[in-house]
A and B are shown apart, each in its own frame.
Chain A
Amino acid sequence: MCCRLFERRMLREGEAPQKGTFWGPGRKRKKLRRESRDQEMSETAIEFKNISKQFGNVYANKNISLKLYKGEILALLGENGSGKTTLMNMLAGIYYPDEGSIAVDGKEVSIRSPKDALSLGIGMVHQHFKLVDVLTATENVILGLPGKLNIKEAETKIREICDRYGFVVDPNKKIYDMTVSEKQTVEIVKVLYRGVNILILDEPTAVLTPQEAERLFRVIWRMRNDGKAIIIITHKMHEVKEISDRVAILRKGEYIGEMATEDADIQELTNMMVGRAVSLNIERKTPVNPKPKIEVEHLTILDEEGVAKISDVSFTANSGEILGIAGISGCGQKELLECISGLVKPLNGHVYYVEEDESRTDLVNLNPLQIQQKGIALSFVPEDRLGMGLVGSMDIADNMMLRSFRYGATQQDIDRVNKSRFLENLKQKMQPFTDRKTPRNLAQTVVEDLNVVTPSINTPVSNLSGGNVQKVLVGREIASHPKVLMTAYAVRGLDINSSYQIYDLINKQKESGTAVIYVGEDLDVLLELSDRILVLCGGRVSGIIDGRGANKEEVGLMMTSMGGEQGK
């Protein structure tokens, strides 16, 4: 029944139905891909020769030699900070290699700027889009090109490119009106417009829904069959399996090896990436004695423009349980969590925090400080790590005290606050100095316990790689022994090893009786991790289901079924 619905949806989009296209590789297509690849395999598009790049004393890339052939998709795989992006940035002319050389079409070249790269036919689509919001798609595409400004002509050319590869984009739409996936399309069109033959995609699916990712893959295949060489950086193993012809693996800046995707299996790739065997199972224990901890009732939240981001949402989060929140990105998850943590005031509705003795406190009219002063241990790992959860320029130790600097120390003091709250709050207010020693010790503990890779605890967190930044943030939030832990996209951009460490930490919190609210985008993980799943669609609850019995198609359908963007 579900599958049939999917097929119907795809027909509406004008695509031929393919069994399993959405959630797994269709066998037929895969076969088709392989055939065409073998013919063109011989010609080298790019060759890296002994490339090294040093930042300070650290080698980001060390002696890397790698080849890319025309008409193939190469997946570049590696943990956070293994030097994938650095290597690609050198190809795109953003960095210049300290040693080694790059050859394009067999000729050694020197790529000094992105302009050089483009004239060699190399284009990169970055993780963070580089578009001008107030301009249209066409204007963005032709921005910076020499010659006369001829929007009409450009538009025709863009339409041609779109038809050729199957993009769907309106050339006259302004960027600020676009969804993330549309913006990405514009970025890709932008480099294709410049006649690029070698395309680099840096984590293109990190911000896309499964459906959008699938659409992107179809486009990438068409480009490949057109003879273009494509390098894709990704963390998601199933995508590597699905899309690439060949996989190359980097670890700690060094080239580890490569293999044909057909011969690779996920466990093997992971082991090569991490350098040792990693277990890829998420343990899900039965919740012990779950009790309501957060009760959300009829919550409605408006954004700054007065558009409802969350409408009439009600649910309960229990202690000792992980409540997963699924939904297409941008349909209210962020607002929901920010509202519970006191950062956003709702239009109406209530958020109750239930104490051990079952008395309820309404958090709706409290700010984060007041919530803290009431002795409610609410931890929040926000989506925007360096823009909200941490202070990028401060070191790890200073970031540890971000939420507790008023108390000097962390937990003991918060416990004391519970006892005679008013007096303690007053006392804290009168004390002008902050304790810098306890956070230092905490930083040391977090670095050791969570294996944060950092030169020292005095390193600014913005110098750490994504996974390590996240460990610092999660480490701090967990250190305050929360009763409620909210995480938004806790593993976004993290490599597989770090991701599993984070899942582990979240599971430990659950076991210790914390109510965990986990907003995620990877449905596979969400289904494996959560005890219950709340599915949001366009800011409304489209259902709450048991995590153990749920299947992906069902959740995927709930995500899109209630008039959200994707269901149109």
Chain B
Amino acid sequence: MNEKKNPLFHIVKRKSMPLSKQMMVRLIAVAVAIAVCAIVTVITTGMNPLSVFAATFRGAFGSGRKIWITLQDTAILLLIALALTPAFKMKFWNIGGEGQVLMGGLASAACMIVLGDKIPDPVLNLLMIVSSVFLGALWGAIPALFKAKWKTNETLSTLMMNYIAIQIVAFFTIYWEVPKGSGKIGIINQSTNAGWLMQIGNKYLLPILISVIVTVGIYVYMKYTKHGYEIAVVGESERTARYAGIRPGKVIIRTMLLSGGLCGFVGMLLVGGIHHTITTTITGGQGFTAVMVSWLAQFNPFTMMGVSLLIIFLSHGASEISTSCGLNQSFGEIITGIILFFIIGCEFFIQYKVIFRKKETENTKEGPAGQKEETGQDSAEKPENEAGNAKEDSEEKPENETTQVDEEVKS
């Protein structure tokens, strides 16, 4: 170690990168991801990678109906991510979106089953909205109250609330099962459509419109209101908040009422607008996927639109691959994993710069790589451009980290 030897590369944080260059890096990342996917496809299945990509695309955008479903699913995922965002901004790790959505769904299902055909539809709809928002908010506020009063760990309590919600829904599924003994509720009010949300245009459009409105709403709330400012201050430091005359406990509870309430509202959309039934799996794990969406978008509502679309696109594509190409579900997930891996990994090169050892005497035989290193500044793009030796070295680090996050979120 005492002999003169510099490390191969070291990593330095960048100040900032112009937007055009950032987009370049991301584009390159996507290109590399597709290339790696193609290689993996050929090696493991021997199929033409182009046909696999075509299947992916077909799965998400293959027909008019598929496009609408993709957009609708995107809207739901986006809405849950938006609901979690204020809490995350406050560094309140609400991973109980799943349970809050379920409770909201349960509330509307209950309204539809108990009051369907007994009161006019508009009143019923209103009641569904109020009750689901209320129950979702309650589900969010309970951990918040504990955190504000006794400083309990919200990650654990919100997570545990999910399982309580699932069990409650399971109980009511049996309680209201139709027909008796089936263990399912089935489509509620199938004959009368009582309590079903009205359709705008076609049956897919309503959640999409709502998600656009909520996106703008959350953006404005976080950026321009006093509440949004208070949330940011509380998230950073409770002592600073107190110094500024903000009561952290109050802000925590208020924000979780909003976060949980919005989740509950999504549950209402799922039950009243899309599925017209309730099961314990109606959320399909989106309460957790939304955590990833919110984080990946760095809590920016507009970025979340793109991220949710990407994730839904990949998941629809994956299931299409498994059916139409005769491969099993795992293969689709491998492809999804590779693509996410590169897209998340490339953020590292936007944040950091990798400086390689200066050409000393004889250590550079890589030819073009060596020349480019000397410029130093462009070193971030270099690894992806070449897919060469240097790349694997330098990319290992960020990718390991990000995939870990991935796995945690998924599991």
User: Which residues does A use to contact B, with CB under 8 Å?
Assistant: 54-58, 96, 98, 101, 107-110, 112, 116, 119-120, 341, 343, 367-372, 380, 382, 384, 387-394, 398, 401-403, 405-406, 431-434, 436
Contact = CB atoms under 8 A, between A and B. Distances in A.
Contact of A433 (B13, B226, B245): B226
A270 B239 CA distance: 36
A388 B4 contact: no
A116 B242 contact: no
B131 to A, nearest CB: 26
Contacts of A403: 244-245
Sort A-B residue pairs by CB-CB distance and give the 5 closest, nearest first: A56-B15, A369-B245, A368-B245, A391-B236, A434-B226
Interface string B1-17: 11011110010111110
Interface of B: 1-2, 4-7, 10, 12-16, 224-227, 229-230, 232-233, 236-237, 239-240, 242-247, 355
Nearest to B15: A56
Contact of A434 (B5, B14, B224, B239): B224
Given A56-B13, A96-B7, A432-B226, A387 B244 contact: no
Nearest to A53: B12
- Looking at B4, B6, B232, B243, the one whose CB has the most chain A CB atoms below 10 A away is B243
B226 A405 contact: yes
Interface of A is mostly: loop
Given A402-B233, A432-B227, A368 B242 contact: yes
Contact of B229 (A343, A369, A405): A405
B9 to A, nearest CB: 10
Nearest to A57: B15
Given A107-B2, A119-B1, A384 B239 contact: yes
- Looking at A371, A433, A436, the one whose CB has the most chain B CB atoms below 10 A away is A433
Given A119-B1, A384-B239, A434 B225 contact: yes
A466 B245 CA distance: 25
Contact of A389 (B2, B10, B243): B243
Contacts of A393: 236
A52 to B, nearest CB: 12
25 contacts: A55-B12, A56-B14, A101-B4, A112-B7, A341-B243, A369-B245, A369-B246, A369-B247, A370-B245, A372-B245, A387-B237, A387-B240, A388-B237, A390-B240, A391-B240, A392-B237, A403-B244, A406-B245, A433-B224, A433-B225, A433-B226, A434-B224, A434-B225, A434-B229, A436-B224
A385 to B, nearest CB: 10
Contacts of A436: 224
Nearest to A401: B229
A398 B222 CA distance: 13
Nearest to A428: B226
B13 A55 contact: yes
Given A55-B13, A387-B237, A391-B237, A109 B4 contact: yes
Contact of A380 (B16, B237, B243): B243
Contacts of B12: 54-55, 98
B20 to A, nearest CB: 18
A405 to B, nearest CB: 5
Contacts of B240: 387-391, 402
A15 B15 CA distance: 52
Given A108-B4, A406-B226, 18 more contacts: A98-B355, A112-B7, A116-B1, A341-B243, A343-B243, A367-B245, A368-B245, A369-B246, A371-B245, A391-B233, A391-B237, A394-B233, A398-B232, A403-B245, A405-B226, A431-B226, A433-B225, A434-B225
Contacts of B15: 55-58
A109 B6 CA distance: 9
Given A56-B13, A368-B245, A369-B245, A109 B2 contact: yes
B19 to A, nearest CB: 15
A116 B225 CA distance: 51
A378 B15 CA distance: 37
Contact of B244 (A368, A431, A432): A368
Contacts of B225: 432-434
B236 A343 contact: no
Nearest to A382: B243
A58 B14 CA distance: 10
B4 A110 contact: yes
B363 to A, nearest CB: 14
B170 to A, nearest CB: 40
Contact of B232 (A54, A96, A382, A394): A394
Contacts of B242: 343, 368
A370 B247 CA distance: 12
Nearest to A120: B2
A58 B230 CA distance: 33
A371 B243 CA distance: 12
Nearest to B223: A436
A107 B4 CA distance: 9
Contacts of A401: 229
Nearest to A368: B245
Contacts of B6: 110
A109 B229 CA distance: 49
Contacts of B355: 98
Contacts of B236: 391-394
Contacts of B233: 391, 394, 402
A56 B352 CA distance: 9
Contacts of B7: 96, 110, 112
Contacts of A434: 224-226, 229
Contacts of A371: 245
A436 B240 CA distance: 19
Contacts of B13: 55-56
A341 B239 CA distance: 13
A20 B101 CA distance: 73
Contact of A391 (B14, B16, B232, B245): B232
B349 to A, nearest CB: 15
Nearest to B226: A434
A544 to B, nearest CB: 28
A342 to B, nearest CB: 8
B241 to A, nearest CB: 9
Nearest to A462: B236
Contacts of B5: 110
B243 A388 contact: yes
Nearest to A393: B236
A204 B169 CA distance: 61
A220 to B, nearest CB: 28
